[in-house]
Amino acid sequence: ALWAVVNNAGIHDGLFIDWTPVDTFKMLMEVNFFGMIRLTKEVLSLLKNSKGRVVNLTSLDGYRPLPSIAAYTSSKHAAEAFTSCLRWEMKWFGVSVHSVNPGTFKTVLAEGAEERIKLLWRKVPGSCKREYGERFSKKILTFTRMFTSNASTQTSLVADAVVHATCSEYPCRRYFPGYDAKFLWKPLRDLVPEFIMDSIIDTFLKFALPRPAATM
């Protein structure tokens, strides 16, 4: 008998929509979204028999979008929607479905962000490069370096959430491991009106990055 399946496969690529090829969007959807669907559908009959569990590692980025990660956050929002629909539909069969939405942790994905951006910038068409400018590209690298260096090293929080979702008698529907997820982004997403959230993001971009060269 199969008690649970944990969908944990995930990749990250792309940056600003202007810079990111459509093929990158497709690649992330293929792994982060369609991979989750394929594996889940393969084992659903076994989970119905055992009245087991599905645990999907989506992301905090599937709970709230942020600029500069459209390809990744789109795939994770799709995974979140799939997880919610599956949870409602599987209640008929006694199968419970749970999502784990980690914040920012020092993982291989985070540590490789700077190199991914450098490679992506080299491939950006010349006209687009002129619109943003070299100063902008250098600043985004500096910001990424600062962001990833401050990422949490407590990856055990994610593992603990997965274990609880899989084994606990009373699992949660959603888990938000990481202090940034639990105490910053989740409250902002849940409690702050969208027009205020837009103002927060606008202010953040204003101070974190220079304006693209073509908008000066």
- What's the mean pLDDT in 159-174? 97
- What's the mean pLDDT in 113-131? 95
What local confidence, expressed as pLDDT, does residue 147 receive? Answer: 86
What local confidence, expressed as pLDDT, does residue 108 receive? Answer: 85
Active-site residue (options: 63, 72, 132, 175): 72
* Rg (the chain; Cα; Å): 19
pTM for the model = 0.92
Kindly state the helix (H) or strand (E) to which residue 6 belongs, with its residue range: strand 4-7
The strand ranges marked E within 30-93 are 53-57
Q: Does the structure show a pLDDT above 90 at 216?
A: no
Q: For residue 72, indicate whether it is catalytic.
A: yes
What local confidence, expressed as pLDDT, does residue 98 receive? Answer: 98
Beta bridge partner(s), residue 203:
none
Residue type, 15: L
The count of other CB atoms within 10 Å of the CB of residue 134 is 11
Residue whose entry in the numeric block shows the structure tokens 């190199």: 115
The count of other CB atoms within 10 Å of the CB of residue 199 is 12
Coil/strand/helix, residue 56:
strand
Using an 8 Å Cβ cutoff, are 70 and 17 in contact? yes
